[in-house]
Amino acid sequence: MDNPLLDTRAGALPAFATIRPEHVEPALQDRLAANRAALERLLAASRNGPVSFEDLILPLEELGDQLQHVWSPVSHLHAVANTPELREAYNRCLPLLARYQTEIAQNAELYRLFAAVAQTVPEGRADGARALLDHALRDFRLAGVTLPPEQKQRFMEIMEALAGKQALFEQNLLDAMAAWSHHETDAAKLDGIPANTLERAAEAARAAGRKGWLFHLDQPSYVAVLTHARNRELRALFHRAWSTRASDQAPSPPGLDNGPLMDEILALRHEAAELVGYTDFAEYSLATKMAASVSEVRAFLERLVVASRFAGRSEFAELEAHAGHALEPWDVAFHAEELRLRKFAISDEELRPYFPLPRVLEGLFALVGRLYGLHLEADGQVAVWHPTARFFRVLDSGGAPIGGLYMDLYARPEKRSGAWMDDCISRKRLDGRLQLPVAHLVCNFAPPTATAPSLLSHDEVLTLFHEMGHALHHLLTRIDYPSISGIHGVPWDAVELPSQFMEGFAWEPEILAMISGHHESGLPLPPELVERLRQSRVFHGALHMLRQLEFSLFDLRIHAEYSPGQGGRIMKLLGEVRDAVAVVPAARYDRFPNGFAHIFGGGYAAGYYSYKWAEVLSSDAYAAFEEEGVLNPAPAARFRREILEVGGSRDIAAAFRAFRGRPPDIAALLRHSGITAAAASETGTGPATA
């Protein structure tokens, strides 16, 4: 076979060593044509008589998996081994893929067949067949496939307009940030700002042919100035620039004001939601999530507000006492950093020597061995895309293979930043033959030097554990249909449960002893450092919690309470939420929503609460291990059976109850955030809402 991407045999690992950019588009074209022809044959056959799950759904699952075999290696290489040629091929393919996916999503005949098959499959069928059908039917309806032609046309127009306006929102934000700069020639005014930030600013000044330092409004520079600059006016200047980005309060060109756009986006979302039968966009968003209703999410968030507000006030009072004066918004990060250093005196640089990557990995593998009986075995024969990437065979306690794991952990120029888990091959058993799952685990740690291995900060250790949690979710699945196996079909607000859950282990003295070992002396992290590290975890836990709750409630309410007659009322609702939640004062000029790309750019719209929702699940799940013993295989076996194995085949609320013996409780998250029950129940907490 001359195009390695067309090797779609079950279980075949991608031929990473031989894939070339010129293979990409022909392979995708070939696969899409084959899929379309196969779909036509299936539809034609279905017109001759009743259809069954086996005759229709299984072949469709197979087609989806065939496409994944072609596309997964391409999108992976695009992320970790990018070249101009590959990027070009990749970009040419995106519209081809999108068109194919729209054809499927908008196929009314296919929708009717799914509905007919669903009649023949009993609810709650153990293999997840009914869940698969219900998910598919729901997604068809959410895409407007059941609407009469005129409304369907309008729905498609709205979706297209939304995509454009959301992209414009992000573009305005970027342009507004690029339009701002601050030039400084007096070094004394920059006192406290870290060297690497100053370095970048000096470089920018040189590039512009100027003396001194030229700052732009990128996030790292903004955070560095607000956290470290001693000069109060400088902090105030940056704060104003940042919190008025793309707004009517900004000095940037008025064409970049996102205000009108935000109203239009809310209006379009509301109209789309109503067209497909929901009262508002928040309800539409929740249709695919674990949370059952807007009122449930709101009550959930408000419960956390009540529990955190007293502790938040105490934290803020302590901070003002430390500063010795009332704090303005641009003072908070600076004095918080001072206080943090005074209380815990802990820095990344102090911890790194204790976390050489090989030692951390060895400890992490030992941990998953203790919890799930897994054994990871490096296999140097498997083709990879870079000499430092590695492949591991994942075996169960009896030595039987259960899947594979690629790890690519070092930063490189041709690699996307950040860390993620991606699905390489999905578990599949459609014709009796089992295809085992394979995952990609990607990070961007500093590579080893001539004299030292890669040394991780504790944050990076958490990242590695987090991504391993996602990988285990993908690898331990027992579901045979690819579209609901592993992380597929898992609701957005629950998908971070297995990953955040794994982070819990990286705070345990017992586990820290397993994963640490000074790269020179080999000694584990000293108990005194372990203690300081654990204390620093909860520093300003309530203030961070309240900030996230403010964002979440704001996002939920502007979508749930939108009314066409009154428009967005964005600043009014923000004011109400702040009155009910915030303990840190906001500046009068603050136009934070105009830069809230998470929700106005798409993605998290009426879904920002998912962060806290999943954290409650993961904290509470982890608490079972605190209660029963962190290395106890009993809760691990339960967690594996009820949560990790079920993929998207099961209602997650029911799965959680089966694991924990009760519904999720917020107590563990409060405790892990340093918010004690005593503080939460003090009088003076006040009502949660205005």
Active site residues: 467
**Burial classification of residue 146, based on how many CB atoms lie within 10 Å of its CB (0-12 exposed, 13-18 middle, 19 or more buried):** middle
Give 376's strand partners: 394
Q: Report the residue number, 574 or 669, with the smaller CB distance to Zn ion.
A: 669
Structure tokens given for 455: 């040394």
Q: Which stretch binds Zn ion (CB under 5 A): 83-91, 406-414, 498-506, 656-664?
A: 498-506
Contact between residue 466 and residue 460 where contact means Cβ atoms under 8 Å apart: no
Class of residue 509 by CB neighbours under 10 A (exposed 0-12, middle 13-18, buried 19+): middle
DSSP H or E segment with residue 410: strand 401-410
* Under 8 Å between Cβ of 549 and 304: yes
Nearer to Zn ion, 63 or 652 (CB): 652
> Which among 165-173, 292-300, 499-507, 680-688 is the span making contact with Zn ion, rule CB under 5 A?
499-507
Of the pair 499, 685, the CB lying nearest Zn ion is at: 499
Q: What is the DSSP string of 145-194?
A: TTS-HHHHHHHHHHHHHHHHHHHHHHHHHHHHHHH-EEEE--GGGGTT--
Q: Which of 485, 499, 618, 673 binds Zn ion (CB under 5 A)?
A: 499
Cα gap 404→555, rounded to integer Å = 39
CA distance 90 to 71: 10
Beta carbon nearer to Zn ion, 165 or 474: 474
Identity of the residue, 65 or 467, whose beta carbon is nearer to Zn ion in the bound complex: 467
Q: Is the CB of 499 or the CB of 619 nearer to Zn ion? A: 499
Closer to Zn ion by Cβ: residue 194 or 603: 603
Asked if 308 touches Zn ion (CB under 5 A), the answer is no
Cα-Cα-Cα-Cα dihedral sign, residues 673, 676, 679, 680: positive
- Shortest Cβ distance from residue 470 to Zn ion (Å)? 6
Residue 441 Cβ vs Zn ion, minimum distance, rounded to whole Å? 11
Q: How far is the CB of 366 from Zn ion (least distance, A)?
A: 23
Minimum CB separation of residue 496 from Zn ion in Å reads: 5
**Residues 381 and 390: beta-carbon distance below 8 Å:** no
CB of 607 to Zn ion, least distance (A): 14
# binding residues, Zn ion (CB under 5 A): 2
- The 3-state DSSP class for residue 53 equals helix
Q: Taking CB under 5 A as the criterion, which residues in 468-497 touch Zn ion?
A: 496
Residue nearer to Zn ion on the CB measure, 252 or 499 = 499
In the block, which residue shows the tokens 């895309």? 385
Q: Which long-range contacts (CB under 8 A, 24 or more apart) does 133-137 make?
A: 133/53, 133/57, 135/483, 135/484, 135/489, 135/648, 136/483, 137/111
Q: How far is CA 295 from CA 299, 307, 561, 656, 689, in A?
A: 6, 18, 12, 21, 13
Residues 621, 638 contacting (CB under 8 angstroms): no
**Shortest distance, CB of residue 176 to Zn ion, whole angstroms?**
29
Q: Does 68 bind Zn ion (CB under 5 A)?
A: no
Taking the least distance from each CB to Zn ion, the nearer of 361 and 441 is 441
Alpha helix (H) ranges present in 561-609? 570-581, 597-600
Does position 249 bind Zn ion by CB under 5 A? no
Q: What angle do CA 120, 125, 126 make, to 5 degrees?
A: 155
Tokens of 398: 């009896």
Q: Which residue is nearest to Zn ion (CB)?
A: 499
Is 285 one of the binding residues for Zn ion (CB under 5 A)? no
583-607 core/surface letters (b: 16 or more CB in 10 A; e: else): bbeebeebbbbbbbbebbbbebbbb
User: Which one, 245 or 473, has the nearer CB to Zn ion?
Assistant: 473
The single-letter DSSP state of residue 539 is: T
DSSP code at position 55 = I
Work out how close the CB of 471 gets to Zn ion at its nearest, in angstroms, rounded to a whole number. Answer: 11
φ, ψ of residue 453 in degrees (nearest 5): -70, 175
Shortest Cβ distance from residue 305 to Zn ion (Å)?
25
Minimum CB distance to Zn ion, residue 200 (Å): 28
**In contact, 23 and 3? CB cutoff 8 Å:** yes
Could you give the dihedral angle defined by the CA atoms of residues 248, 254, 258 and 264, in that order, rounded to the nearest 10 degrees? 110
State yes or no: residue 463 binds Zn ion (CB under 5 A): no
| Relative orientation angle of helices 21-46 and 58-80, to the nearest 10 degrees | 160
Asked if 618 interacts with Zn ion (CB under 5 A), we say no
In angstroms, what is the minimal distance from the CB of 499 to Zn ion? 4
- Asked whether position 685 contacts Zn ion by CB under 5 A, the answer is no
- The order of strands in the sheet holding 375-378 is 375-378, 390-395, 401-410, 438-445, 420-425
Other C-beta atoms lying within 10 Å of the C-beta of residue 683: 6
Task: Select 502 or 599, whichever has its Cβ closest to Zn ion.
Answer: 502
Q: What minimum distance in Å lies between the beta carbon of 213 and Zn ion?
A: 36
The site for Zn ion (CB under 5 A) is made up of 496, 499
